[in-house]
Amino acid sequence: NAGVIQTPRHKVTGKGQEATLWCEPISGHSAVFWYRQTIVQGLEFLTYFRNQAPIDDSGMPKERFSAQMPNQSHSTLKIQSTQPQDSAVYLCASSQKEVFFGKGTRLTVV
Amino acid sequence: GDSVTQTEGQVALSEEDFLTIHCNYSASGYPTLFWYVQYPGEGPQLLFRASRDKEKGSSRGFEATYDKGTTSFHLRKASVQESDSAVYYCALSDPLGYKLTFGTGTSLLVDP
């Protein structure tokens, strides 16, 4: 069991570019989550899928952020027109009962 | 909305010292409470959880007791080791059991 796999581990984008972050949940887990971690805001919930269906995206910024789960083996978080304030560690997690987090993708917008 | 408060931002101890990290919560209903630990370059890992009043969670020598009266879930360890150096997060889950609300985290540094 390799755990939750997130790629890339580090991504640097220029302001205004698009960033796509990938997550492979643990096989058999029905729930997938995205969180954002920053020094200032700490760990913030973004969105949640169950059995690939979007259930709760109440933490997602209304503009520029979108998440999808096209199949049970991966989810993506896309940020359009990235801004410096989007710089953060984006964590994906999956769960059947216990929540397991990936190592995160550190996004830096320059 | 739900919230979790950790009063200590940083704690510095020596090996074999006693550890307390305070956690208080505000939530409607009866949330499940968690302690997570995060090491550099890793995601948070579950230390343990508790779901009902007076329930004690424990793992690796750490423990905390769910106290609904004082809305607290303080983390304690009798004798810390250098390997315990990490960031510790108190968290709660909403009544539906999926969305985690985290405290601001406490960075623990243990000197050998």
How many CB pairs below 8 Å do chains A and B form together? 41
Confidence of residue A28 (pLDDT cuts 50, 70, 90): very high
Question: CB of A67 within 8 A of CB of A78?
Answer: yes
User: Distance (Å, rounded) from C-alpha B48 to C-alpha B32?
Assistant: 11
Confidence of residue B1 (pLDDT cuts 50, 70, 90): confident
Q: Flag whether residue B20 sits within 8 Å of chain A, measured between CB atoms.
A: no
**B44 prior amide bond cis, ω within 30:** no
pLDDT tens across A53-80, in order? Answer: 999 999 999 899 999 999 999 999 999 9
pLDDT, mean of residues B31-55:
96
Question: CB of B77 within 8 A of CB of B63?
Answer: yes
Q: Compare CB distances from A42 to B42, B46, B105 and report the shortest one's residue.
A: B105
What local confidence, expressed as pLDDT, does residue B28 receive?
85
Those residues whose C-beta lies under 8 Å from the C-beta of residue B106, and which sit 6 or more positions away, are B6, B8, B9, B10, B11, B21, B87, B88, B89
User: Distance (Å, rounded) from C-alpha B70 to C-alpha B47?
Assistant: 22
Subunit contact B43:A103, Cβ cutoff 8 A: yes
What local confidence, expressed as pLDDT, does residue A7 receive?
98
pLDDT tens across B50-109, in order? Answer: 999 999 999 999 999 999 999 999 999 999 999 999 999 999 997 777 889 999 999 999
What local confidence, expressed as pLDDT, does residue B96 receive?
74
Subunit contact A99:B46, Cβ cutoff 8 A: yes
Q: Flag whether residue B98 sits within 8 Å of chain A, measured between CB atoms.
A: yes
Give the residue, A12 or B94, on which the prediction is more confident: A12
